[in-house]
Structures are given as C-alpha cells and as structure tokens.
Structure 1
C-alpha cells in the first residue's frame, strides 16, 4: 500500500528513515513517490570541456581522474574530471573532508557552474551529481534525461543525493506503483489532455524526454490545483452560509459626506472599489475581499470608507499593519480624514504597558471605534466589544495563523485584505480564489511618473552631486542598502557603513539619518518623525521603508546593489518617492561587474512604471515560491508540482471543475470541517492530499 512506511523500501533502515522524515518530510512510500525532482539534466545539452569559456555557466560530465588537496594558508580540494576532450577542476574550499570521501577516482560525475581559469579551467563549488551503475535505472532513463532532487547536507550524508533518491524511488516504483489508483476517468483525462496517474508518477522520475517529464508534472499539478481550488470554493460557500436571510443596511449619507470632505477627488478606481465594498457590506453574509493596488493608487482612503460604513452601524474596526512605522502612519491618516466624532486608537508593541492597558480597556468597553496596530492586535488579552470589520494591510506579510487569530476576535466579521504588491492574475486565482477582488491601477491626476535611471556604481560621484543639488533646493532623499552591516560572505555595501562615510565624506553639511529593522521601535519612530518634518535631509535605510512610507517632500531614492532585489521589491521602493508636487527620481545602482542578464533585468524596470506588468515579469523570473520574498507567507507552500507561472490554464480548468463539484454537493452530505470534507470526497481519495491539507490546516 502507498501508506506503507518508508522503511518498507529496500535500503531504507531506521536511521535513514529518520533523516528522510526530518529533512524531506518523507515518511511513507506515497511521500517518496511524490518527492519531485527540482530540475532535469538532458545529456544531449552537456558541453565538452574543450568548448567551455570563462564566465560561461555550463553542465559537463566526465570521469574523476584526480582528487588533490592543496594550499597552505587556505586549503582547498581539487577534483579533476576528464570528458575525453580536456580536463576541468572542481574546487572546494569548504567541506574538504566530506568531499574527499565522496569523490572517488573512476566515478562518473556531473559538474554545473560558472567556468573560471586559474592554471586550468575550473568551477568553484560546483553543483554536482553522480551517474548510476544500476543498469535497470540506466535503461529506464535511456541514458539521456537525469532527474536532480532537492537535498541537504544531512540527506547527502545519509546517501540521499540525487543518485541515492533515484535508487530508492526506482525500488518504490517496482514494488508499489500497481497500488496507485487513478481517480480521474479516461474521458476526463482525454478532455484535459492529461496522463494517467501511474504513467505520470513513473515519467516524472524516469522520463525518456524532457517533454515527457513536463507532461507528467502537468498531470500531478492538476491534482494539486483541483484539491486547492475545491478547498477555496468550499471556503467561499461556507462563508456565504454564515449570513442571515436578510440584507444588511449601510449608511449611504455617511459615506457621501466622507467622500465630499476629502481634500482631493478620488480616482475612478477608488470610487469603484468603495462601491464594491459597500455592496459587499449590504449582503447577508460577511465580506471577504482583496484590495490590491499599484504603488501610490490610494488603498488607505478606500479602507477608510469601509471603516466609516462599519462604525456608522455600531461596529468596531481593526486595522492591522505589518510594521509600527506603517501602523503609525495609518493612525495619522485616519485621524486626519475620518469624522471627528470617531474614537481612533493606536496599539503597537512599542507602547508602554500602561498605555497598552488603557487602549485595551477602551476597546473592550466599546469606547474605541477604530483600532490600528501591528501584531499586538492578535494578543489574547486584546478583546473587542463588537468587532465588525477587519482590515489587514500588506496581508502577505502575515502568516495564515496570525490572520486567523484576528478573525477569531469577532463573529461574522467583514474582512478586507490589502496589498500594494500587485499580484499576477495566476497567483490571484491560486492564492485568493476564495476572495472577491478589487483592483486599483489609476494614479491621482496630479502625480507625475517617477523617472528611473539604471547606472553602474562607477558613476556614484555624479549621483552624489545630483542628490546634493536636490537637497540644496530643500528636497529630501532616500539611500537604500540591502544589508544593515557589512558581511564577510557577501561583498555588499551596508547601511551602517555607508551612513558613516556619507556623513564624513560626501554630505558633511547635511543632516543624515539611519534607519533599519534592528532598531528599537521608539528609535525608528523618532527617525521617521524627523524625516517627515524635514529635520533629516537624507535617510540611509534598509528595506524597512519598502511599504507605505509617505513623505511627499522626498523626491530622490538611490538603491544600491539593485541587482540583489526582485523587480516587484524595487518597484515598491521606487514608490516611496513621487508623492509630492516635484518630479521624482529613482537611481538603480549596480556593480560594474554585473552580467548582461542582470543589467537587462534592471533596465526593464527603468523603462516600466506599471506595477502589474512588473509583477508578471518578476513572477516569471523568480518563480512563485519567491515572489513575496518569504515562502511561509504564501499559501502555495504546499504545492510540490504546481507552478502558477506555467499552469495558468490548468488553474482556470481546475477552478471550473472545483466549482461544479461544490455546486453539485448535497448540503447535508458535506462535512462541517472543510479539510475533512476534502479527505472524505470520493474523487480525492486517489490523490495525494496529506501534505497540502497539512499546510492548509
């Protein structure tokens, strides 16, 4: 049976089973069969060593002809391989003892990496893999396509490099593949152009061609997407059942009064989003809406309108922001623009305990209408009298559990989640299929697009002169660095190091501030307060200012090591300027040694101000797992094969099929628990659901 423990596979004893469980989450035969390759190597694409050039990234194969330890002050290991055309050295400065054991003369090995030259062609710390001696594996692999598996040093130490995984997976397929039952009938597979499940599990591990491997991945992706979309559709259906039989009232006069008193005319997109939210808040069941907007399109005003509607019918509002800086800014904006009779409070971790207690007491008794805060809002001792609306800003920065804890503080709350990181359409369908979506693309009429320049660091002195010119005119500037302090491992400029040199050498007559995430909350607030008031002319910072910081007088941002950031993150940083009446500039600096691909990517941002198209490109370049910069914040962490970049059409098909399944379900037959309902559904019993459901739970 597929549920057999992994020790039932020949060659996996108790110790190795423990490593597989700890490092890869593999506990059963099914877990092993669904442990997908991270990539494939096509032997026909290998390069001969004689044809390799310096700075070229290649994959080569050859026989190990020498393993030599060398060096005096700094020891290193050379592993020489010969492919019949020339010899190349794999050079290892770390893990020498380990590599001396695993690299044995006469073994066939693959090396991948960038070619360098020091006395001979070499690759420093190459990615490596070994060929099998097992003829059965060779024959089913046809000697052409080689799967490479995710691994760790502990896995490799237990024998589970890619070669080790291929061995035990081959054995598991031989012994257990006949236990696999396909839940999709032949007609469905034919209509969807999908492989059979047994065929897919064999081909994903031992494909005859790269295209066959992709067909197998596509079938396994559909399984995951169908389960996930069914989960989202069930969530939506359950939410709609939470309402009563009658519509809820909203106060249109209060909303009209708020809109009329704004010191600016809302954009068409803002007005549309506010009407969509007002419509949601009239329905019998709670609102569950995502508001996504490009940088500077005005999400905050839309959330204020929602808050005013909630308060006007006697409910309390909670606004949760990811940082204390952003929470404080929201508090200032809400206080400025919301009607004077509303009681608005701020609750963050940086408040003194006596102030926290006072704010919490006002909240519990119902004296506070709107509470704005950070993670402090989800503490158990923070209680509400009548929570009716939850607004979660930059929601992808909060984990699933954190968002759920806030929702638990009120029965049948309306929920508005917001993000200023435009989300590609495939990710919107994948991650937020249970939410209605409002989109803000339109910038305020008086806002000029930011002019962006991509420059090598050798032109830094000219940049400093230009910045000084704007500072002399009374403007302000941001200098952004990827690190707080210098790193021995990475040759990158740091915020603290630059702060000292900028003060001493380049801007001695200007007041310069330093801001980074390690500073106490009170210190960060003081620095931002001084920058907003104009006391600080130049703010040296890490990416802590990436989201939401609004300083209209700042019209220049210089981003050092722009090649280290994703396109979406650079676009967010660029959005910190251009909020005032003056033309704004963004300078993207990169090392002169940056390769052509890196420069092309940076230049693509310099010529594009559309956050949504930038997000699509960023997703394509970096993949869904890294799109938000931290895997734990995305719901897609449970996917092993599905990829929103590649699988948009599959997502649409799975969404449509899941909708039919939910619509055809008999209400009384459904489990009260959504995840249990998936486990019990006949269609999903033949699909691997354990890992995905564990993530969702």
Structure 2
C-alpha cells in the first residue's frame, strides 16, 4: 500500500507554491477574484486549462471576404462610430482595414463596447460576412492585440479560459503568459520515464506551455494527450493501489458446498435465469476465496438482484456469520425486508429491520440482539452505520442503490466486521467509462437478462393535444382491473416554476377527470407512517390511481400497476425516467409508460426519443452519460475522487483504457511504489488524494 510519509520539504518551498498574488498584474486585491476560480498558487494558475481555443491560424484578407462566409481577419482600426437606427436601436460600428480592403464590425445595443476600441489598435475579428451599404461582420468575436501581448505575431491558436466576473480574457491571457514562461520549467516530471518513452509523450514543461499557448493545433493535440493521460493515469493508479490493498487483506473463506447450495435453492420458488446463475457462480467463487469480496452487481430494475443477494446472505449465515443489508430509503429497506422474509418463512434465519423511525425501546432490543448474535440478518437504512450498531460476527455487507451512499458510508459499515465480504448493487446501469473510473477497484457482475414472461414496457410520448386520449386509455386499463401511477415533478405549485404539482393535480384528476375512480396522493413531505399506509393501500387496490412525486423512483413493487404516466417528462433525467418506468412491468400483463410534456430543447427531445426507442438500461445509461457528463451522472465528489481538470471521459475513453492498463501493470510490478523511478508518482497520488488517502483502502 501507499505509505503516508510527509512530502519532501523542497516541494513545499517550490516557487510553484507561491501565492498567485505575486504574479505581475495580480496583487492582493485581484487574488481574491482568482481564488473564486480555485487559483490560489502559481501551480493552480498553470493547471487552470483553457476551455476552448480560437483559430487565428488562417487569417484571410478582407478582399477575400464573401457574403455569407465565416472569416477571420486582422487589421488596424480606422474609425469608431455609434448611431441610432430608426427603431431606436443603438448601433456600434468599428471600421477595420488591412491594406486590401475595409470592413465594418457591427454590434447592436452594445454601446459600452465603444470604449474598448481605439483608432490604430490592431484587432483580430472572426464572424459571418454580411452586407448593408458596405461589408459587415455582425457581432463578431474580437481580440484587441496590444504590442506586448500574445499573440504578437500574426495568427496563432488563442486560448479561451473559464473565467469569473470582473475578469477579461485579454487580461487573463497576459497574466497566464507571464506565469507559463516564467514558472512552467519548475514543474517536475511525475510520470515514470518508461511510460513517457513508451507513449512518446512530450515533457511536462512542453505540455504545459503548449496547452496554453500552442503554435499549431498539432502542438495542442500532443500537449492535451499528455496531460489527459497523466490525469487519468494518476486516477487509475490510485484505483489499482486500492484494489491491490483489498486483495492483500485476509478476508473470510466461506464453505459453500452442494449441501449449502441445495438448502438455499429450496427457498427460491422459481427457476433462476442464466444471468443469475452466472453471477451467483462469480459471487460464490469470491466468497470461497480468503481474499475479501468487493463486487459491484449491476442489473436493471426487475432483473432479480435481490434473489442473488439473498443467495450470498444465506451462504454467509450458513457459515455462522451475520449479514447486513443497507438500502437508501425506509420504503426500500422495508420492501427488501418483506421480500426476503417471504422467501425465508420456512427457514430458521433470524431477521430484524432497523430504520430511523423505530422507537427507542424497540431499537435497544434490536441492537442487543445484533450484538449478542441473536440476529442473523439485519436489513436497514443509514441507521446501520450508527456507532450504536455493533455486530457479533459480521461476514457480509450488501449495499443497495450504492450511488445514494458515499464511499465513507460504505467504509463505516465495512468496519463493523473484520474484513467482511462486500456486495454492492445498483439498478442504475453504469456506463463502461464510469465503471472504469468510479468503480475501478471493484469486480463487476452484470445481470443482463430479465426473468421470462415479462413483456417489455411500451413507452409512448403524449403531446399536449393528446392528453385526453391518454386519460381515456388509463380509464380503459383500470376497468380491466389494472392500476396507474401518475408522477409530477413538484409537490405543490411554485411561483418559480410553471409546472403542474402533485397536490393540485390529484384534486383536479379526482374531481374533473376520474370522478368515479379512487385517486391517492403520495409525496416526500408526508410523515413516514402516512407514506407507508398509502403505499400499502395502493398495493391492496384501495386506490386505482396513485399521484406521486419521484419518491416512488426506487423500491416500490406493485405487480398490478400497468401504467406509469410521467408529467413534464422533459424535466426529468434519463436515468430517473428509466427508474420510474421500472416501477411497472412487474406482472405478466402488457405495461405502458406515458411521457407527457413538450421537449423544449434538443437534450430533452433526445431523452424522450431514447426512452421511446429502448428499454435497455445500459444503452440508456450511455446516452444519459453523454447528455449530462460525468459530474452530474453520479456525484463524483462523494466517491472520494478528485475532480477531472482536462479529461472528458467520453471523448478520451481510448486514453482512459490505455492509462488503466499501464497503471495496473505498474502496480503488479511495484505494488508499494518503492522503486526510485516511481517516487514522484507516489508523491503525486498523495497530493492528489490528500485526505482521501484512507479511501484507497475501500
């Protein structure tokens, strides 16, 4: 494992650790603005990468300008004028000449720009050519070139930075240029020499210079490849060390022979799918090994994860150990408890439910039973990780919907036993790119087959003019004995959002649309007991329609519900829509998901299209990841991972894969990173992960 020896003193005294305020053009006052960008030291400045680049490499002559074409020109400002149009619009015109002709840069209703332009300034303009009485560039991008400022020569690749208020690109570039050319030489090479050679990377100093001020796009490409690789290699190396650390621990070795297997299968009242059999084999191999199991089980809603988890739980209990099953909500924990209890009614397994709403006297009894070993399986919520919960001999930890829990919570539960096996489950399929980063330390099993006899849910988009048709269809299904969910994004009406709410709509639906039917209401602001009663009433068919918020996204199993209607579907993320759809289709009847709403952007339109085309959770996850990006897809921060500064996990997947292979190979050769050539990389991991070091052990 990586040790946590202090970083060498010389690093702390490096010029790169100096405050950014000492850079020419910053100073104490402006350094506060830099702080808002996360730039506190000169090192932070050098690693604040451009978000885009302007292509000034192909400067054209004004005489070549053709109406309708995009053009980049460089010339001197010949004159600046503002005037009022007939419609009272303010027009600013800046006339520019380059010796071959003259063109006007024109802006509407932006008179304040006039102060930026001075006659005889050199300016670069990029925009679409139009014609009025003369050639024009309408609202072009512009760069005013000072004599001492980049780029001094004609053309070039110009960086565009993510900035905050009261900071201009021009001024920031000027300060960045000083920082780069004065301090980039102090950055030490962290990548091992053999990796730089093998991948033919440019040096770190060259990469930093060329990511900010490349002479050509080829230089930029080489710099970016090097920096993306190093960022992802650092991440994957930490993953490889974390995984190695887990594998080096001595865990429990369970005996799972034919006798145990037969006893468990006798409690399962149906034939398992091939996917379930494959995953059970992978889990039992892990549990038999003396190395701790650290496995992620992915499977769509309804693919049978609970039964697989139950197999592992019973195997642990058969070996004399306790098991803990943690779910993210009380509703879900109770449902898991009831489901498993139903399977185990003819067994001797002692089960208890532990959630936050259990009364203190009853809770004390349960805690005593867990500590004395009188409970074999405890199912619960976050309540399981409280300090008061002590196990006699915890052998297996199962965590459901793991992305609802942070890494630290996983660690807390694991620490309640001596190296227990860990099975982590999710119904949110994880794109391959993310599973290699967020879960690079886990072995992954996938349930990619649904139990037989369940027709796939048909998903239809319902535009505003077809709403009444949809209500008639719901009524027809209810007359056949089915039930309906209708989900809204808000609990109550809000002045901020022009959206329908669950409370108001449940009244309208009951009074105006379905007066002869029974309409129930469920939302997160209700007390726990009230929510449970409404869900139980719906399950027992005392309501025909349940109006709800996304509180039903996880964990409610109503086989008789055949319609899921989602109102303002354009306001929900793809994964959320897919999770909601997973609440139906649990029985043998054909089920329908109706998406009400009018997509108001290309992204929301793409979400609706994806939902109507496929029920495949992995395809949906990949599309969701593309539309939302990694930051939003999962709260990356709660996983204890550093933020990515330059990498794009979708675009840079080939580099990610290469970095991962190299990192895992390096750790297999030098598990402690004790070789001299790996010193700097070890130091970089310690600096990058800082207080997250303990997480390397999860």
Q: C-alpha root-mean-square deviation of aligned residues, in Å?
A: 3.7
Partner residue, 2:506 = 499
Partner residue, 2:8 = none
Partner residue, 1:239 = 246
Q: What residue ranges of structure 1 are gaps of 5+ in the alignment? A: 53-61, 69-77, 92-99, 113-122, 671-676
Partner residue, 1:524 = 531
What is the alpha-carbon distance in structure 2 between the residues aligned to residue 446 and residue 19 of structure 1? Answer: 61
Cα 1:39–1:500 shift into 2, 3 Å = farther
What is the alpha-carbon distance in structure 2 between the residues aligned to residue 451 and residue 544 of structure 1? Answer: 22
Partner residue, 2:18 = 4
> 1:651: how far off?
1.9
> 1:144: how far off?
6.2
Partner residue, 1:115 = none
Match among 353, 357, 376 for residue 350 of structure 1: 357
> 1:371: how far off?
1.2
Question: What secondary structure is seen at the aligned counterpart in 2 of 1:644?
Answer: coil
Q: Is the 8 A contact 2:302 2:586 kept in 1?
A: yes
Partner residue, 1:425 = 432
Residues 524-568 of structure 1, C-alpha deviation per residue, up to 9 Å, x if partnerless? 222222222222221222222222321111111111222222322
Note the 1:165-180 alignment, pairs <5 A.
Answer: 165-180=172-187
Match among 317, 323, 327 for residue 317 of structure 1: 323
Note the 1:79-118 alignment, pairs <5 A.
Answer: 89=108, 106=117
| TM-score normalised according to structure 1 size | 0.83
Match among 253, 256, 260 for residue 250 of structure 1: 256
> 1:12: how far off?
2.8
Q: Is the 8 A contact 1:65 1:106 kept in 2?
A: no
Partner residue, 1:576 = 583
Q: Is the 8 A contact 1:41 1:147 kept in 2?
A: yes
Match among 639, 654, 662 for residue 659 of structure 2: 654
Cα 1:331–1:180 shift into 2, 3 Å = same
Q: What residue ranges of structure 2 are gaps of 5+ in the alignment? A: 1-14, 60-64, 70-76, 95-102, 128-137
Partner residue, 1:284 = 290
Q: Is the 8 A contact 2:354 2:363 kept in 1?
A: yes
What is the alpha-carbon distance in structure 1 between the residues aligned to residue 549 and residue 157 of structure 2? Answer: 43
Match among 409, 412, 435 for residue 419 of structure 2: 412
> 1:140: how far off?
6.9
Q: Is the 8 A contact 2:58 2:155 kept in 1?
A: no
> 1:320: how far off?
1.1
Q: Is the 8 A contact 1:130 1:163 kept in 2?
A: no
Match among 608, 626, 630 for residue 620 of structure 1: 626
* Residues 1:479 and 2:492 are matched in the alignment: no
Q: Is the 8 A contact 2:191 2:681 kept in 1?
A: no
Q: Is the 8 A contact 2:603 2:627 kept in 1?
A: no
The range that moved more, 416-425 or 564-573, is 564-573
Larger Rg: 2
Partner residue, 1:57 = none
The range that moved more, 317-326 or 167-176, is 167-176
What is the alpha-carbon distance in structure 1 between the residues aligned to residue 329 and residue 287 of structure 2? Answer: 28
Residues 111-165 of structure 1, C-alpha deviation per residue, up to 9 Å, x if partnerless? 99xxxxxxxxxx9xx9x998465455541796565544344xxx424x3x54554
Q: Is the 8 A contact 2:189 2:680 kept in 1?
A: no
Partner residue, 1:37 = 50
> 1:322: how far off?
1.1
Cα 1:383–1:137 shift into 2, 3 Å = farther
What is the alpha-carbon distance in structure 1 between the residues aligned to residue 58 and residue 90 of structure 2? Answer: 22
What is the alpha-carbon distance in structure 2 between the residues aligned to residue 410 and residue 67 of structure 1? Answer: 78
The range that moved more, 208-217 or 233-242, is 208-217
Partner residue, 1:149 = 161
Partner residue, 1:304 = 310
> 1:195: how far off?
3.6
Note the 1:189-588 alignment, pairs <5 A.
Answer: 189=196, 191-192=198-199, 194-208=201-215, 213-243=220-250, 247-338=253-344, 340-588=347-595
What is the alpha-carbon distance in structure 2 between the residues aligned to residue 666 and residue 571 of structure 1? Answer: 41
Cα 1:342–1:389 shift into 2, 3 Å = same
The range that moved more, 470-479 or 256-265, is 256-265
Question: What secondary structure is seen at the aligned counterpart in 2 of 1:281?
Answer: helix
> 1:9: how far off?
1.7
Matched residue count: 641
> 1:584: how far off?
0.4
